[in-house]
Amino acid sequence: MPTTEEEAAAGADRLIADRYRLEQRIGGGAMGIVWAGTDELLRRPVAVKEVLLPRGMPEGEAAELRERALREARAIALVTHPNVVTLYDVARHEGEPFVVMELVPSQSLAAVLAEHGALGDPQLALVADGVAAALDAAHRAGIVHRDVKPGNVLIGDDGRIKLSDFGISRNVSEHTITSTGIMLGTPAFIAPEIASGEAVTDAADLWGLGATLFAASEGTAPYGANDDPLATITSVVRGPVPAPHRPGPIGEIIAGLMVKDPAQRMTAQEVRRHVQDLLPPSGTRPFEMLLDPEAPTVRVRKVPSTSPNTAPGTATDEEPAPLAADPGPLPFMLSEPPPAPRRRFRWGAVVLGLAAVVLFAASTAGGFAATRALAGHDVLPEITTPAPSQPATPRLARYVDEAKRSQQGGGGFEVVAPEGWDVFRGSRNQPTESMVVYLISPDGRAEVAVERFEGYYGDRSTAQDYVDVLQERSAGEHGTFRLEEDRPTGATDEVSGETDRFLRYTASQGGVIGPAVADSERSTTSQLMPRGSDLWVLRVTTPLDQPGAHQRLFDEALGGFQITS
């Protein structure tokens, strides 16, 4: 493993763990290098973080840096969310860990601010909403980031917001790294309780979000006008909190987050609620003119063709590339139907953002093993839903998926679920790559999901392959899983030669942290539907204590489900 930055920079074109080809350095610092590369098995772009060991570093400190890389991987593995960079793998190469993640063509918020200065309200609203949603997910999983700052907020080339660098995060179930060799945050954005050595809670990240929004709103960090970190930390702990100059909801959010008493800070849910009316319309790209298209983190190589005439690892012409094939995308950007008064559909409503993560955590464990399966290509379209009203007894509504983004032109569907549920998009890699639309109940305890595996039977996969990975998908390595019913239903599909298949199972996620523990065991009913070369899966998941409601929800969803294109 390289011991200096110069040696590491000369290490491009290395093949890590016989799978990941390092191609271009796109970032790094004193403790690591981030490479753009290719997963030669799945033929998709990846980002690979390599630990950089300074020459002559004592072995104890080197081990600590390796542990930091593994801590980051463990943290991201627990947080499956559209606004968090997706973890694919931790590869061992020559005894050293390499963290393999989603490659997001993006620039950091810090880079954008350095080049263009303060942002406008719609841009600030996107940043606030995306980071707050990511923190909500992390905190539900028991993870405190501890270093929320503009440099760790990524702005995708299509406007997506991702929170990155969980390298000094803390899992509440683990002991904290205590050596002075590991920095506990960036002085200008560090929470007062961290700077003064007090207990670190979720609220520390909320201060970091407030300080990040301050910098993005004012064009300068709230603290640290000079290069003296001690003076900066002293100001954070003992000095007054700087007041934002921006009026309106953004200023209110900053003031509500940058409160020295952690118990008095605005919550992530409140942040998201405050910015809903400021979010830009669906389909717009408010950062398009601010990102440098030639930046190495934006202009990444397009993944090579899978044509038989293209050898593995062969580069194609460079051009700005789309997000990684498994991008962990944002919640749908939804358009409203026309009734007055017009209300903006909320992007994954406040409480529902965190609720979705609890369900995601229960259904997406075993992510490392998932990367071992060959992936196809799939894109599900945007969804138009009814206005998110919440009557005491929710009425049924038809959720219509009309867009046609699939490479083969299909993918639309309709499904019936209670009115006002929020819509999220996700992706999976078991047994092959799929895209999922999640409808989440307001209390976060129930889910209707539609999953499509495009070209599934063209890859010679079978419904049994899906059943074989159910335990890993639903319970992970340490959870519990019981398959209670598995039977064929309906007629045989002419293309795949398979029939619809009814499944019922219960599962709990092993190692779930925090509030999700008491509600971790859930019942799921699924209908597997071979349709041509695709496999569609409709599933309903609820807590075990709601058998009657569970069955009604499934019957309603299945009765109203149809593929529209």
Between CA 203 and CA 139 the distance in angstroms is 9
Between CA 415 and CA 538 the distance in angstroms is 9
Q: Rounded to a whole number, what is the distance in angstroms from the first to the last CA of the chain?
A: 51
**H or E element at residue 413:** strand 413-418
**H or E element at residue 271:** helix 268-275
Q: Which residues of 313-350 are buried (b: 16+ CB within 10 A; e: fewer)?
A: eeeeeeeebebbbbbbbbbbbbeeeeeeeeebbbbbbb
Percent helix, percent strand, percent coil in the chain, to nearest 5: 30, 25, 45
Contact 29, 5 (CB under 8 A): no
Q: How many CA atoms lie within 13 A of 141 on its CB side?
A: 31
Contact 429, 326 (CB under 8 A): yes
Between CA 84 and CA 188 the distance in angstroms is 23
Between CA 559 and CA 111 the distance in angstroms is 50
Between CA 193 and CA 541 the distance in angstroms is 39
- Residue 118: DSSP 8-state: S
> Is the dihedral angle over the CA atoms 426, 427, 428, 432 positive or is it negative?
positive
- For the annotated catalytic residues, the residue numbers are 147
Is residue 410 classed as helix, strand or coil in its secondary structure? coil
Phi, psi values for residue 512, rounded to 5°:
-65, 135
- Residue 392: DSSP 8-state: S
Phi, psi values for residue 506, rounded to 5°:
-120, 150
149 is in an annotated binding site: no
Q: How many CA atoms lie within 13 A of 482 on its CB side?
A: 7
Q: Which tokens in the block code for residue 218?
A: 């004012």
Contact 525, 540 (CB under 8 A): yes
- β-partners of residue 44 are 39
- Contacts of the segment 544-547: beta carbons below 8 A, 24+ positions apart: 544/506, 546/445, 546/446, 547/523
Contact 43, 33 (CB under 8 A): no
Annotated binding site for ATP: which residue ranges? 49
